[in-house]
Structure 1
Amino acid sequence: MTPSPRTRRDALIRVIESLHGEIDALKSNDVAALERATGAKLAAIEEVRTLGDGPAGPELRELADEADRLNETCRIYVNLLAANVRRRLQILTGDRGNAYSRGVIAAYA
């Protein structure tokens, strides 16, 4: 049995599946799953690149838009996680990181 030829559509579907895996891993704080999903995503993106950049029909555009939306969701999760880490570090170091810290409020008392 001959394997089916690789297509940009198939590669984009693998990108989308990998992005779903990244989102799931981010939600569950599973670093190993995040590394696997990110590796799979990067390999699928490289495959899309090697398959060329010819004209894209409506289905390919729709898949690319879905991948873009999922990537944006990943970016939002990462930014939220980074903000939570920053906040926790500020609490641990006593630096609240805002203008309403105890010293500023005391100046107005």
Structure 2
Amino acid sequence: MTRRDALISVIEALHAEIDALKSNDVSALELATRTKVAGIDAVASFDGEPMTAEIRELAGEAHRLNETCRIYVNLMAANVRRRLQNLTGNPMAAYSPAGLAYA
């Protein structure tokens, strides 16, 4: 496997993560995450090699996709927090020490 192949594997796994997050498919999310971590480990094994323009571009794409995943997770967490606040009648932030006192 080359660094390019490893980055492509990471990108494919990130696409799978996004799809799993959109569909709330926990099993697919777990598989995509394991695949992504394995790809990242493979990319890291090429650490001493010089960066080419193609590798830099693939790494940038992986970074953008990872940021998209992060945004999806943050939105999902905010929705859960809002739902919990509605269920408990607690207007305080669910993750603050005062908010936890009501849990």
Normalising by structure 1, we get a TM-score of 0.82
Moved over 2 A (4+): none
Aligned length: 93
Structure 2 unpaired stretches of 5+: 94-103
Q: CA RMSD in A?
A: 1.1
Q: Which residue of 1 aligns with 2:8?
A: 13
Q: Which has the larger radius of gyration?
A: 1
Q: Which residue of 1 aligns with 2:58?
A: 63
Q: Does 1:88 align with 2:80?
A: no
What does 1:14-93 align with in structure 2 at a 5 Å threshold?
Answer: 14-93=9-88
Deviations 1:4-39 (A, max 9, x none): xx1000000000000000000000000000000000
- Identity across the alignment (%): 68
Give, in whole Å, the separation in 2 of the partners of 1:70 and 1:53: 24
1:41 counterpart SS class: helix
Give, in whole Å, the separation in 2 of the partners of 1:53 and 1:95: 52
Structure 1 unpaired stretches of 5+: 1-5, 99-109
